[in-house]
Amino acid sequence: MIDFLDAGKGVYIEGANFSSYNEGSPLYGKFGTKLAGVGNFWQTGNIETVFGETGSVVEGLDYDYLYQQPPDNLVDHIDANGGSIIFASQDGIGRGVMYAGASNTYRTINTSFIFSALVNGIHTKNDLMEAYMDYLTGNTAVDEHENGIANALSLTVSPNPFSNTTVIRYQMRDASPKQVSMKVYDITGRLVRQLNNPTIQPSNQIVWDGTDNSGRRVSSGTYIVRIATDHDIVNRAVVLID
């Protein structure tokens, strides 16, 4: 697996005790994570809810968990060690980290909670897996819910790759007004640019010129455009080249 990551690939690993059993190993060092503590037995309980961290690619993706059930047993507390915390539980304890390597040469996700033990709510587990896959692979995700019904929100980014500007276009199947948020993240999951959209319309387009919130030109590389309404989130990978 280390060779796989060194070849520039992406790996997702979950497990309540992954940090406890692997801390100090060469593989563990690839995940930008450090063990901060070992959780309780499931009868006492650990995770009721996990919250996507503000400013990360999973911001707003919050899920209830199978609290005080077997998947909630001895769930590790994890902190960032070069990576970025993307999920915390209701008690503020870190439960998920993204990392792109010291030189942004590969991508990893490590969560101490179990994906299958998340409970669908406003956002589904499919929404979360889409965000994961966009981050890990840089591929365009398929806008499709678990029941096979087309997503109510579509997003395109063109040109892609781009060097000067790219146009981000969205369209909602439901024409009723909604709150729309459009943001750009780097491959570590950190917020780069908040793209303001003062007019809420069923469809709209915004130009991104490759600058961050301070107006500085960002470096060449892969970025993730994320658009979210009250009930839908779609991510797209976009490549900036000089």
Quick one: pLDDT at residue 208?
A: 92
Q: Which of 194, 72, 57 is nearest to 131 (CA)?
A: 57
175/204: higher pLDDT: 204
Q: Report the C-alpha gap between 101 and 11 in whole angstroms.
A: 12
- CA neighbours within 13 Å on the CB side: how many for 39? 31
Quick one: pLDDT at residue 119?
A: 94
Burial tier of 68 (Cβ tally within 10 Å: 0-12, 13-18, 19+): middle
Domains detected in the chain: 2-119 (3.40.50.880), 153-240 (2.60.40.1930)
143/85: higher pLDDT: 85
pLDDT in tens, 25-66: 999 999 999 999 999 999 999 999 999 998 888 988 999 999
Secondary structure of residue 18 in the 3-state scheme: helix
Q: Report the C-alpha gap between 156 and 168 in whole angstroms.
A: 6
Q: Report the C-alpha gap between 221 and 237 in whole angstroms.
A: 10
Quick one: pLDDT at residue 151?
A: 54
Model pTM score: 0.64
Quick one: pLDDT at residue 177?
A: 54
